[in-house]
Structure 1
Amino acid sequence: MFGYVAGLPAFLAYFVLGLVFYGVFALVYSALTPQKEMTLIRAGNMAAVTAYLGSILGFGIVLASAAANSVSVVDFIIWSIIGVLAQILAFFIASLTMTKLHERITNGEISAGVWNAGISLAVGLLNAACMTY
C-alpha cells in the first residue's frame, strides 16, 4: 500500500514550493509593474485581468517545466527563480514593444492586456522549453 504513495513527500515539497513561488512571483511582479494590478482587477478592468492572468499562466508553464525536469528540490528552486526573472523580462519586452503599455492597461485597453498576456505566455513557453535539457 505504501509503495503507491512513496512519491508523496516529493510531490508535497514541489507543490508547496510551487505555491510559494506563485506568491513570490505575484508580489514581485506587482511591485515592479507601474500599474496596480489588484486594484484594477477588483475594479473590473479586463485589460488588467488579461495582462496579469497571462503573466501568472506564463509563469505557471515555467513552474510546470521546472518541476517536471528538476533533479532535486534545489534544482527546482533555482529554475523557479530564473522563471520569475524571465517573466519580469517579459513585461519589460511588452512595454518596449507597445507605447505606454501600463497606462493603456490602467485605462482598460483590452489590446494592451492581450499584448502583455501574449508576450508573457510566449516567454513562458520558451523558458519552459529551454529547461528540458
Structure 2
Amino acid sequence: MQPTDMFFDYTLAALPDYLGFLGTMAALIAVFTAIYQAITPYREIRLIRAGNRAAAISLSGTIIGLAIALNTVAAGAVSILDMALWGAIACISQLVVYLIVARLLGDLSAGIEEDRIGYGILLGGVSVATGLVNAGALTY
C-alpha cells in the first residue's frame, strides 16, 4: 500500500466524524441564535435589514463568542454527544451574559433599537469575551 493510499483511507475514515461534529456545531449555532433572538425584546434580523449597526454588532459578537467556545469544545470532545452537551452549556452561558448586560444597562433594548453603536459594541464585546473565557474554562 502506498503512503498516499493510507492517507486517503485515513482521511475518508475520519470524514463522517468531521461531518458529524460540523453539523452538530452548525445546529447548536442555529438553535442558539433562534433562542437568543426569541429572548431579546427587539428583532435583530429586522433591525439589521433596516441598517441598524448596533443590532448587527451585538448579534455578530454573540455568535462569534459562541463559536469561539464551540471550537474549544469540539477540540476536546470525545464524542458528538459530549460536544453537544458542553456546547449547550456554552450556549446557556451566552444567554445569561445577555440577561446580565440587559439588566445592568436597563435601556439596552432601546439602545439597540435606536442604533446606539456603543450598546452594540458593548454587548458584542462582552459576548466575545464570554466566549473566550468559556473556551478557557472548557479545556477539560
TM-score (norm 1): 0.96
Count of residue correspondences: 133
The residue aligned with 1:10 is: 17
The residue aligned with 2:133 is: 126
Equivalent-residue separation in structure 2 for 1:18 and 1:73 (angstroms): 9
Equivalent-residue separation in structure 2 for 1:124 and 1:4 (angstroms): 30
**What whole-Å deviation, never above 9, does each CA across 1:66-123 have from its counterpart, x for those lacking one?**
1111111110010111011011011112213323011100100000000000111111
Q: Give the alignment partner of residue 113 of structure 2, picking from 106, 111, 115.
A: 106
Equivalent-residue separation in structure 1 for 2:96 and 2:53 (angstroms): 22
The residue aligned with 1:91 is: 98
Equivalent-residue separation in structure 2 for 1:99 and 1:123 (angstroms): 20
TM-score (norm 2): 0.91
The residue matched to 1:34 in structure 2 has which SS?
Answer: coil
Q: Give the alignment partner of residue 35 of structure 1, picking from 32, 38, 42.
A: 42
What does 1:60-99 align with in structure 2 at a 5 Å threshold? Answer: 60-99=67-106
Q: Give the alignment partner of residue 22 of structure 1, picking from 22, 29, 34.
A: 29
Q: Give the alignment partner of residue 55 of structure 1, picking from 59, 62, 72.
A: 62
Unaligned stretches of 5+ residues in structure 2: none
Q: Bigger radius of gyration, 1 or 2?
A: 2
RMSD: 1.0
**Structure 1 vs Structure 2: percent identity of aligned residues?**
35
